[in-house]
Structure 1
Amino acid sequence: MGSKIPEASLGFGNRVDATDYENKPYGTLFCASPSCSAQLSFVKRHDRKYATKTVEIAPCFRLKRNEEHSAKCKYNIGGQLNIIAKSSDSAVFSAIEESKYEFRLHILLKAL
């Protein structure tokens, strides 16, 4: 599971946002979350075509292949879902553990 990350930390500690990095790409990228040191890669600005229109996707960072965010990192979506589930009814969490239920996030192009 992944997410678009708007900001990264360069190897020497400075932070850079995706738009600035797009203009001047340099350095090794890491997750900017305080408790995480996962390596990131850059995704260039690009167009995504849908059925009736084309949308420009802003530049962002994403998790590099074979890397994982730390358990408490805000970009660790699976970890965040576990935190939400743990704070809810114990029956829900046990059902997720037993793979009886699955969380899905759907993005609606046209709401209502």
Structure 2
Amino acid sequence: MNGFDAVLRVSDPLTWGDVPWRVEAHGRVRTHVLPALAGTGAYLRALLVHTQEQGGLALGPDSGSHLGFNPLGEAAAPIVTILFDGQVPAASEGSGSSAEILGVATPRAR
């Protein structure tokens, strides 16, 4: 089975236009990615990973200085949103019914 995994990483929940990335990315998958792959029969999994930029790397154990926002040990788990997961619809089916935002997934190691 041929297929693609597309992982989109963001560190801010909003675009420059103050639109949530979850909404913007879903729209871009619908208007650009699915039409480009239509008719291929390919399987696509598109994920949006919001890293929340809460982690960093400490410069020293007692220095109180960090590269980033917080010490690395305090990093929050990323929020993963499934934008599309399945077979790309044929061109004649349009981009309507078969894929919805499926929700927030729990990150897991591979």
TM range, smaller chain: under 0.3
Which protein has greater RCO, CA pairs closer than 8 Å, 6+ apart?
Answer: 2
